[in-house]
Amino acid sequence: MKIVGTDAADVEVGLVTGKLNCPDCGGTLRPWGSARSRIVRLRHREERRAPRRSRCRSCKATHVLVPNDVLVRRRDGVEVIGDALTAAATGNGFRTIARRLGRPPETVRGWIRHVRLHAERVRVHFTGWAVALDADAFEIPPTGSSFGDALGAIATAGRAAVLGGAATDPWRFASAVTVGRLLANTTSPWASP
């Protein structure tokens, strides 16, 4: 799996011209069909998507090219999930958040539980990114909870990425630097700063 931008035409050009590299060996990725089609629920619309697949010329591994506006194995876009997590950090309950977003309460509760369970890992990872992107100006004020501190670190790193031109949106940045696995039940390494 490789995280890419959301512009399908740019991704295709990158594949055809050999500008996308294998996340395993660094070799050149080439077109290799598409993954299974699915519906993605974004903030204001739903889209049917079939993510592009690629194959490395060097190691022969295949990779699904996942757009940075989603997380792996999640039906909702990362901005919707980010809205829910932000609302939870400010004291809203999962049922209220679910009602406001039009999502099942169990789904929203699962997102919040996952980040609470892994809050320290999230905080440390995004604090590292915040320092790497803007060591002089970053500040993550403590919130009094590990969940709030984790969300504060995501916000600070995302803001630094946007201001530095490394990203267009803080939550898409979060997807990219966790390799789409912010909410995945895995110990797979996230991208280092």
0.85 surpassed by pTM: yes
120 burial type by CB count under 10 A (0-12 exposed, 13-18 middle, 19+ buried): exposed
d(CA 160, CA 152): 12
Element holding 29 (H helix, E strand): strand 29-34
**Which tokens sit at 96?**
């209220």
Q: 68 — phi, psi (to 5°)? A: -75, 5
Spans of all domains in the chain: 2-67, 78-177
pLDDT in tens, the chain (193 residues): 999 999 999 999 999 999 999 999 999 999 999 999 999 999 999 999 999 999 999 999 999 999 999 999 999 999 999 999 999 999 999 999 999 999 999 999 999 999 999 999 999 999 999 999 998 877 888 899 999 999 999 999 999 999 999 999 999 999 999 999 999 987 778 988 8
| Residues contacting residue 33 through CB under 8 Å, at least 6 positions apart | 53
